[in-house]
Each structure stands twice: as C-alpha cells, then as structure tokens.
Amino acid sequence: MELTEEELIKRRVVNRLRRAHGQLGAAIKAFETGATCRSVVTQLAAVSAAVDRAGFAIISTGMRHCLTDVSGADLAEGMEQGDSREQLSIEELEKLFMMLA
C-alpha cells in the first residue's frame, strides 16, 4: 500500500509530536529527580525543537495546498465533492507561521 504525500507528512508530524511528548515526560522526570540543569535544559530544547518542526511541517503543507489550489473552479469543485480540507488564506498562513517564530 502506497501512502499519499499528505499521509506521509501527517505520519511524520504525529511521530514528531509523540517524540516531543516522550521528551517532555523525560524532562519532567529529570527535574523531579534532581537531574543536572544541563540534562533538564537539553530535554526541554529537544521538546521545543520537535514541536516547532511539527508546526512548520503543518504550515508548509497548508502553503502547498493554497498554492496548488489556485483555480477557484477547482476549489468550488472540491467543496461540492465534500473536500473537508481547511482552506486558509495567505494572510492566515503567514500569521500561523509567525506564531511559531
């Protein structure tokens, strides 16, 4: 079974978020058990990077959809066929991107 590009991206984002979840748990445990400052901060930096990468992947996917859905006719056709993808304007994508910066 071959996955679509969108499914691959979704899988990668979920994996990154799960990794961040595990790293956050490790950071909490390290802090609670009195681990060194270096250990705790290293884990927190890893959590932050994983969450940021997941966010950027989601936004870049949205940008690709916006740029490929240029034709209003294609958009209207997709809506008629029950396309449930969220349609974001360029301004909305920019705002989401800046929230991660």
Task: Report the alpha-carbon distance of residue 22 to residue 16 in Å, rounded.
Answer: 10
pLDDT at 85: 57
CA diameter of the chain: 60
What are the structure tokens assigned to 78, written together?
Answer: 């997709």
* SS3 of residue 86 by DSSP: coil
Q: What is the pTM of this model?
A: 0.65
pLDDT at 27: 93
Q: Where are the domains of the chain?
A: 5-100
CATH topology of domain 5-100: Methane Monooxygenase Hydroxylase; Chain G, domain 1 (1.20.58)
pLDDT of residue 65: 67
Interatomic CA distance for residues 75 and 69, integer angstroms? 6
Average pLDDT for runs of 10 along the chain of length 101 = 82 91 94 94 92 86 65 47 62 78 71
pLDDT of residue 69: 56
